[in-house]
């Protein structure tokens, strides 16, 4: 019996929550053969908290961990951070790096049915009781209204075609699998169509960029007036785009190609990458993503969008265009006119080809263009940092209105928001 | 109608065959996925039994105020409708559950129950992602049921009978329907993918809905749901064999063996195709069903009718 | 013979009980599926009458109808999941009285009538017999009408589907929306 259990959980399913600096450890963990990726938290075995998790996520993560079916365990992968468990979560298994994980010990803790992870964290009752004012216990004014179980009741809204149907307040995020971690979108749905996006919250704490910011680092150093090798900048861009493309392909239900991209991303083998990018940029992806979430160039200008998102709407915004080193290499910014999800995908894929090409020819050239993968890092009036992801967040609220659910998810994915970066000041 | 004495061995035997078929499909699916990832290894072999044991050891956790009767009834209904549909599948003229004179309409009616099962799987958990998934499947299935029904009638036309055994007999006397109605075969196979929401039609377990109906399922009910989905895929593709591929026809081996081999081949091919085709958008598929497939299936019906009027030999007359 | 009686009794009871459940359960979803259960039990009763084609067709039609009905019930009725402890029936006493009277009238009609009993076997091809009986010489007209109706439906769907229910109106609403109009009404 015990051996059957051990065999059954030999490849535990992981559900990720990515914190500060946690993107790279999670990507590395994804490639590990001992782990498989879970779709949602319920069926997952491991709640992987990679990077340093902000402490005010404790309540959300406690509720998330509680939805996981037993046996379950928290796996902290936090390079260099302290090893205290997050308040509210039971102690799990802590590792400072992916190589340092002792899988036997992990399995032991996972399958320990008497351990702290097996106990209930929350009381087994609804957060607020159901009680109203009516004769039969119904709530509120007359037959409608009230707050059943503490949640706002779906009221009816007048529509352009005069039908008064329900308007459901709900949320997308903050830990939706496939979308950036910490992004909370308050939506009002009608059926599966988003009427409007009420609020966009980035749950990462505001702070200045830490030293060693991974693949944003070359662009940040360029902003600080340092001369950065072109090869570094382009490699960082390539890594970022490939990671994003793999996540998007997972959302589009092509996990095979996504996994191959992730593996090729590790050592950036040019030949293999070109072949994989050819396969990714297929008619299938085109049909799946075209005409969704169109952002016109006027809107892109008005909302001050950045990077590939702006370039996909026809704006020729690229700081590399004005840089002498790039001009010498014959650089032309990649611009598309469609403004839909497909255009944004195509811009990034073409930029991958362009980066591979530049890497071959760059040699020892140095540049000062602060062009990160998501756009340029600018200075604000007060001397602070204006990150491209923060600017792109502005596209969410107006852009989501009227989209069906699957279109909304693809739209958010296509913006390639880095929530940690968006919180930098 | 008198079907003779009840053979009490038949239901357990059918269940055993379905379990073996589902195991085959689970392995084919795993192999296709690992080939796509480039990671074929021993894990490909160990994967499906491991997943099955894992589901058995995992706890089934309730959501807040679920409709438990409908939620747990969904996988049971899926399995029940599959077994009911298999009643009219002939592995050979003697090996058939009950050779109903309206077998073709009978199994189409059983497949229609998938609507109910998927709706229950969406409504039961009281959670928004399964709900959206269930509703989307209702829209999809209503669209794909029509080309299925029309194509199946076109298959019954040469045999001038709605009984599946007569369709097999007609094919064995004349030509396989795969040769005389290739368009019908393609449409039927597409609908055979749509009914168990597989591959391109995977709106029920969708990744952009965080797993759809699978979001809140864990443990034994999840295993039963996935089992039911595989069994339904096995059944829809199994019916392609007597309808299009001549049933148990073939040299050397007895008819039941040929039937089973063909069923395994067709269902394996459909499972693998699910991986290759990726997913297209729901609105694209709705458009395809209503604007393209239904007219094409009507065209197929008219074509085969015309062909039989001109060449009665096509129907073995 | 006795097996048929047993099956008949079981199916008849199932039909009646699920019909009664339609009005007893609070959840609109469960009510609709109880109604479906009742219809399917009646369809199975047709199997006992050797009407296999009618059984299969009734099955198909009732499933499609009830699933569409459940969508409307959830959309328009209050208390879709039965979580609100409210009374969903109206005028229960009048309805009960009318039900009992109807039952007594129908039962007496059934018991008093002298039903003709046929000793003939059902025809070999039941479907063809039903087809000839119902449609006779007008088969082609009915088929053509059916296909025309289908074409009309598809055309409507193709026109409506592209723009969705709101079409371009979402843009308009986005620009002049300030929170929309909540309609409390008091409708039920």
ipTM value of the model? 0.90
Low-confidence ranges of chain C (pLDDT < 50): 170-188
In a domain, B214, yes or no: yes
Q: How far apart are CA A123 and CA C119, in angstroms?
A: 68
Q: Which residues of B touch C66 (CB under 8 A)?
A: 116
Q: CB-CB: which of C165, C172, C181 is closest to A161? A: C165
* Mean pLDDT computed over B111-119: 95
Answer yes or no: do C173 and A404 touch at CB < 8 A: no
What does the pLDDT read at residue A142? 45
Q: How far apart are CA B199 and CA B191, in angstroms?
A: 12
- Answer for the pair A425, A210: CB distance below 8 angstroms, yes or no: no
Answer yes or no: do C57 and B109 touch at CB < 8 A: yes
* Mean pLDDT computed over B154-183: 90
Low-confidence ranges of chain A (pLDDT < 70): 80-85, 127-154, 159-162
Helix (H, G, I), strand (E, B) or coil at C183: coil
Q: CB-CB: which of A142, A143, A158 is closest to C180? A: A158
In a domain, B62, yes or no: yes
What does the pLDDT read at residue A22? 86
Q: Which residues of B touch A9 (CB under 8 A)?
A: 54, 57
The whole-angstrom distance between C92's CA and the closest CA on chain A is 17
- B132 lies within 8 A of chain A by CB: yes
Name which residue leads in pLDDT, B138 or B1.
B138
Instruction: Give the pLDDT confidence of B271-289 residue by residue, as tens digits.
Output: 998 887 777 777 778 888 8
What does the pLDDT read at residue B96? 84
Q: Which of C73, C173, C188 to mutate to test the interface with A (most CBs of A within 10 A)?
A: C173
Q: Which residues of C touch A398 (CB under 8 A)?
A: 174
In a domain, B3, yes or no: no
Long-range contacts of C175-183 (CB under 8 A, 24+ apart): C177/A196, C180/A157, C180/A158, C180/A167, C181/A157, C181/A158, C182/A155, C182/A156, C182/A157, C183/A155, C183/A156, C183/A157, C183/A158, C183/A164
Q: CB-CB: which of B108, B161, B290 is closest to C157? A: B290
Q: How far apart are CA A382 and CA A385, in angstroms?
A: 9
Is 1.10.645.10 the CATH classification of the domain at A214-422? yes
Instruction: Please give the class, per CATH, of domain A2-118.
Output: alpha beta
Provide the residue ranges of all domains of chain A, joining segments of one domain with +. Answer: 2-118, 155-202, 214-422
Q: Which residues of C touch B100 (CB under 8 A)?
A: 52
Helix (H, G, I), strand (E, B) or coil at A74: strand
Q: How far apart are CA A40 and CA B107, in angstroms?
A: 34
Long-range contacts of A272-275 (CB under 8 A, 24+ apart): A273/A242, A273/A352, A273/A356, A274/A353, A274/A356
In a domain, B59, yes or no: yes
- A259 lies within 8 A of chain B by CB: yes
- Answer for the pair A106, A99: CB distance below 8 angstroms, yes or no: no
The whole-angstrom distance between C187's CA and the closest CA on chain A is 8
Long-range contacts of C42-48 (CB under 8 A, 24+ apart): C42/C11, C42/C15, C44/C11, C45/C8, C45/C11, C45/C12, C45/C15, C48/C4, C48/C7, C48/C8, C48/C11
Neighbouring chains of C at 3+ CB pairs within 8 Å?
A, B
Taking CB atoms and an 8 Å cut-off, how many pairs form between chains A and B?
Answer: 131
Helix (H, G, I), strand (E, B) or coil at A196: strand
- The structural domain count of chain B equals 1
Kindly tell me the burial class for residue A115, based on how many C-beta atoms sit within 10 Å of its own C-beta (0-12, 13-18, 19 or more): middle
- C35 lies within 8 A of chain B by CB: no
In a domain, B205, yes or no: yes
Q: Which residue has the tokens 């996981």?
A: A68
Q: Which domain holds residue B297?
A: 10-315
Answer yes or no: do C184 and A145 touch at CB < 8 A: yes
Answer yes or no: do A40 and B36 touch at CB < 8 A: no
Say what the pTM is: 0.91
Q: Which residues of C touch A157 (CB under 8 A)?
A: 180-183
Residues of C with CB under 8 A from a CB of A: 75, 78, 83-87, 164-166, 169-174, 177, 180-186, 188
- C152 lies within 8 A of chain B by CB: no
């Amino acid at each position: 019996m015990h051996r059957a259990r051990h065999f059954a959980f030999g490849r535990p399913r992981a559900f990720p929550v990515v914190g500060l600096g946690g993107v790279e450890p999670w990507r590395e963990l994804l490639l590990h053969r001992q782990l498989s990726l879970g779709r949602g938290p319920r069926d997952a075995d491991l709640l992987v908290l990679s990077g340093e998790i902000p402490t005010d996520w404790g309540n959300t993560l406690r509720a998330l961990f509680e939805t996981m079916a037993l046996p379950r365990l928290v796996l902290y992968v936090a390079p260099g951070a302290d090893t205290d468990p997050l308040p509210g979560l039971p102690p799990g298994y802590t590792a400072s790096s992916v190589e340092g994980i002792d899988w036997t010990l992990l399995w032991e803790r996972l399958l320990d049915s008497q351990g702290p992870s097996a106990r209930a964290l929350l009381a087994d009752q609804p957060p607020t009781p159901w009680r109203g004012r009516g004769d039969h216990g119904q709530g509120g004014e007359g037959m409608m209204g009230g707050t059943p179980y503490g949640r706002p009741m779906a009221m009816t809204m007048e529509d352009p075609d005069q039908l008064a149907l329900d308007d459901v307040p709900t949320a997308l995020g903050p830990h939706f699998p496939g979308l950036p971690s910490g992004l909370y979108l308050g939506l009002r749905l009608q059926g599966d169509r988003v009427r409007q996006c009420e609020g966009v919250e980035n749950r990462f704490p505001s702070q200045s960029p830490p030293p060693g910011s991974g693949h944003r680092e070359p662009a940040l150093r360029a902003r600080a007036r340092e001369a950065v090798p072109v090869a570094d900048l382009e490699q960082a861009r390539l890594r970022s785009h490939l990671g994003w493309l793999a996540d998007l392909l997972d959302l589009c239900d092509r996990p095979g190609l996504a996994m191959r991209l992730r593996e090729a991303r590790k050592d950036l083998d040019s030949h293999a990458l070109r072949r994989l990018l050819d396969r990714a940029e297929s008619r299938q992806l085109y049909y799946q993503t075209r005409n969704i979430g169109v952002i016109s160039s006027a809107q892109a200008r008005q909302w001050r969008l950045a990077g590939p998102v702006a370039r996909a709407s026809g704006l020729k915004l690229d700081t590399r265009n004005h840089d002498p080193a790039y001009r010498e290499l014959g650089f032309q910014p990649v611009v598309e006119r469609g403004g839909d999800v497909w255009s944004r995908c195509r811009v990034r894929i073409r930029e991958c080809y362009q980066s591979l090409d530049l890497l071959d020819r760059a040699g020892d050239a140095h540049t000062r263009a602060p062009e990160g993968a998501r756009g340029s890092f600018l200075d604000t009036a007060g001397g602070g940092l204006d990150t491209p992801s923060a600017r792109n967040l502005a596209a969410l609220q107006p852009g989501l209105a009227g989209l069906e659910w699957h279109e909304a998810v693809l739209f958010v994915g296509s913006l390639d928001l880095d929530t940690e970066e968006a919180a930098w000041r | 109608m008198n079907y003779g004495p009840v053979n009490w061995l038949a239901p357990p035997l059918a269940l055993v065959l379905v379990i073996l078929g589902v195991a085959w499909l689970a392995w084919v699916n795993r192999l296709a996925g690992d080939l796509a990832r480039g990671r074929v290894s021993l894990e490909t072999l160990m994967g499906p039994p491991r997943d099955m044991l894992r589901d058995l050891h995992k706890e089934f956790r309730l959501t807040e105020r679920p409709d438990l009767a409908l939620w747990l009834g969904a996988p049971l209904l899926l399995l029940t409708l599959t077994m009911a549909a298999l009643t009219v599948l002939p592995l050979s003229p003697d090996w058939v559950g009950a050779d109903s004179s309206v077998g073709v309409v009978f199994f189409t009616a059983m497949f229609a129950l998938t609507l109910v099962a998927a709706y229950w799987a969406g409504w039961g958990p009281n959670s928004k992602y399964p709900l959206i998934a269930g509703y989307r499947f209702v829209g999809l299935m209503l669209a794909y049921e029509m080309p299925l029904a029309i194509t199946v009638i076109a298959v019954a036309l040469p045999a001038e009978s709605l009984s599946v055994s007569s369709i097999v007999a007609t094919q064995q006397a004349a030509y396989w329907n795969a040769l005389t109605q290739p368009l019908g075969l393609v449409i039927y196979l597409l609908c055979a993918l749509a009914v168990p929401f597989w591959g391109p039609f995977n709106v029920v377990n969708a990744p952009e809905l965080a797993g759809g109906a699978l979001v809140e399922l864990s443990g034994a009910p999840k295993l039963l749901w996935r089992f039911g989905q595989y069994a339904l895929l096995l059944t829809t593709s199994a019916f392609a064999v007597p309808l299009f591929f001549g049933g148990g026809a073939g040299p050397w081996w007895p008819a039941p063996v040929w039937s089973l081999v063909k069923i395994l081949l067709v269902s394996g091919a459909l499972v693998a195709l699910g991986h290759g085709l990726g997913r297209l958008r729901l609105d694209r598929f709705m458009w395809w069903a209503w604007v393209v497939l239904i007219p094409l299936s009507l065209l197929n019906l008219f074509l085969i009718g015309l062909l039989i009027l001109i060449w009665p030999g096509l129907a073995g007359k | 013979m006795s097996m048929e009686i047993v099956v008949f009794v079981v199916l008849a009871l199932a039909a009646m009980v699920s019909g009664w459940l339609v009005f007893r359960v609070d959840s609109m979803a469960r009510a609709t599926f109880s109604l479906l259960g009742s219809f399917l039990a009646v369809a199975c009763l047709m199997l006992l009458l050797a009407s296999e084609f009618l059984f299969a067709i009734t099955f198909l039609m009732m499933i499609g109808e009830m699933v569409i009905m459940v969508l409307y019930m959830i959309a328009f009725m209050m208390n879709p999941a039965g979580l609100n402890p409210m009374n969903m029936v109206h005028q229960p006493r009048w309805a009960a009285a009318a039900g009992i009277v109807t039952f007594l009238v129908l039962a007496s009609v059934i018991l008093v009538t002298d039903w003709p009993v046929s000793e003939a076997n059902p025809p070999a091809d039941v479907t063809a017999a039903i087809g000839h009986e119902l449609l006779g010489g007008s088969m082609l007209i009915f088929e053509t009408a059916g296909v025309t109706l289908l074409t009309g439906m598809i055309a409507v769907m193709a026109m409506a589907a592209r723009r969705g229910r709101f079409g371009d109106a979402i843009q308009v609403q986005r620009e002049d929306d300030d929170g929309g109009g909540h309609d409390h009404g008091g409708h039920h």
